[in-house]
Amino acid sequence: MAKCAVLSPRPFATEKDEGDKKPAAEEKTAEQLSEDYLSNWKRALADYDNLKRETTKEKAEMAQFAQAMSAMNFIGVYDNYKKALAHRPNTADSKAVEQWLVGVECIKKQFVETLKQLGIEEIKTVGEKFDPALHEAVGEETLEGGGESEIVKEIEGGYKMGEKVIKAAKVIVSK
């Protein structure tokens, strides 16, 4: 027959006994907890300051990159103007002058296309009704047969990007 070991029952622990058995390492005073919280808060604040610095730096780099990309669009136009001015005709040869003007007109078209790629369009003026949101009136002229507040002459062009006016067109309107 197999022998069975008889275990003696353990007495139940009382509340007093459990309180005495807490390990000393787990006990923290209010002062230690306060120091831990303060340390963690300082670490979080430093992390936040670092994040703000990094974000500011990244924004500046993105703005500089966008500016460089815009400039790259205009560099080709500028190079073509330099070439055109270097080869302008010095003679009164009307055919040479006419060909040169055709080349300059092509550069103007290239410039307009570059502006379109950037989302910039010219504000229509002559023959349009005056709109103070798009136009700046710099003078008035009496015009027979023209409508009142109709734009009769453009002094300076205006431009908008989407619906936002970048530069209002300076115009002369009819009385």
What is the 3-state secondary structure of 80-91? HHHHHHHCCCCC
Structure tokens at 85: 């001015």
Run of H or E residues at 106: helix 94-117
The residue-averaged pLDDT of 46-50 equals 96
pLDDT greater at residue 86 or residue 173: 173
Secondary structure element (H or E) that encloses residue 69, with its range: helix 30-86
Q: In the predicted model, what is the mean pLDDT of residues 87-109?
A: 86
Please compute the mean of the pLDDT values over residues 17-39 and round it to a whole number.
74
Candidate from 20-24, 34-38, 71-75, 168-172 with smallest mean pLDDT: 20-24
Task: Label residue 4 by pLDDT band (50, 70, 90).
Answer: low
For residue 16, the model assigns a pLDDT of: 53
What band does 50 get if pLDDT is binned at 50, 70 and 90?
Answer: very high
Do 161 and 128 meet the contact criterion of CB atoms below 8 Å apart? no
Q: Which of 154, 155, 152 is nearest to 144 (CA)?
A: 152
Q: Measured between alpha carbons, how far is 144 from 174 in angstroms, rounded to an integer?
A: 9
How many residues would you count in the chain? Answer: 175
pLDDT at residue 120 tops 80: yes
Cα 108 from Cα 77, distance rounded (Å): 8
Dihedral-angle region of residue 171 (phi above 0 means left; psi in -120 to 50 means alpha; beta otherwise): beta
pLDDT at 7 over 80: no
Q: Give the Cα separation of 139 and 113 in Å (integer).
A: 31
Which 3 state secondary structure label does DSSP give 72?
helix
Are the CB atoms for 122 and 157 separated by under 8 Å? yes
Q: pTM value?
A: 0.57
State the chain's mean pLDDT as an integer. 84
